A and B are shown apart, each in its own frame.
Chain A
Amino acid sequence: KAGVTQTPRYLIKTRGQQVTLSCSPISGHRSVSWYQQTPGQGLQFLFEYFSETQRNKGNFPGRFSGRQFSNSRSEMNVSTLELGDSALYLCASSLSLAREQYFGPGTRLTVT
């Protein structure tokens, strides 16, 4: 069974731009979570979607948003990029809520 896939794998943007990252969960998984990893803050939870509804949200500004489609694929968007948004963005899928999560390889975002 294919794992979690994330596209693109690497991205370079400039301050003020916006970016959209994509995540395809493992087949049959209905929950998708997003995390941000930076050297200073470690791994931090962004949000979780299940059945196209946001079920949980971390402590991030409104510039960070996401959505989930009917096929469980998910996208996250960051608007008005700041230098501090440079990070590895990780997507994880699980069969349902409160179950073990399987992570993708991440998207490395660099904001210049």
Chain B
Amino acid sequence: DAKTTQPPSMDCAEGRAANLPCNHSTISGNEYVYWYRQIHSQGPQYIIHGLKNNETNEMASLIITEDRKSSTLILPHATLRDTAVYYCIVPSTSPQETSGSRLTFGEGTQLTVNP
């Protein structure tokens, strides 16, 4: 998997936008960027993914830079329930590996939404 770098922690005020950055400078042209989050003691939750274009769904927006070396996950109106560890993952699609969905989770970013 392409290595990703995220800040270990971030704070955000409730109701404000939370912008979580991720660097993935070694990403290959056909590799997607995925975002998951894990609320304490629960299973990880899929948020969004993208390849080149910006993406938006009911949970968040994903902004990928033109050179694809970094991305930002945006939670437009953060709530207390958005407090979680957020993981940015770039699964490998190397032809040397068996095709599959292996996810390599790093340390992620602990987002704390404050009242």
Which residues of A are at the interface with B, using a C-beta cutoff of 8 A?
Answer: 4, 31, 33, 35, 42-45, 48, 50, 55-56, 58, 88, 90, 92, 94, 97-106
CB-nearest residue of chain A to B97 = A56
B106 surroundings in chain A (CB, below 8 A): 42
Contact B100 A100 (CB under 8 A): no
Contact across chains for B101 and A94 when beta carbons are under 8 A apart: yes
> In chain B, residues 30-62, which have Cβ atoms closer than 8 Å to a Cβ of chain A?
34, 38, 41-46, 49
Judging by beta carbons under 8 Å apart, are A98 and B45 in contact? no
- A106 shortest CB reach to chain B, Å: 5
Whether B99 and A98, one on each chain, are in contact in the complex, defined by CB atoms closer than 8 angstroms, is yes
Residue from A48, A94, A100, A105 within 8 A of B43 (CB atoms) = A105
In the bound complex, do residue A55 and residue B107 qualify as a contact, i.e. CB atoms below 8 Å apart? no
User: What chain A residues lie within 8 Å of B49 (beta carbons)?
Assistant: 100
Q: Tell me the minimal C-beta distance from A38 to chain B in angstroms.
A: 12
Give 25 A-B contacts (CB < 8 Å), ordered by A residue: A4-B43, A31-B100, A31-B101, A33-B100, A33-B102, A42-B106, A43-B38, A48-B101, A48-B102, A50-B100, A55-B98, A55-B99, A56-B98, A56-B102, A58-B102, A88-B41, A92-B43, A92-B103, A97-B100, A98-B93, A98-B100, A98-B101, A99-B101, A100-B46, A101-B103
From known contacts A90-B43, A90-B44, A106-B43, infer whether A100 and B34 are also in contact, taking CB-CB under 8 Å.
Answer: yes
CA distance A37 to B105 in the complex (A): 10
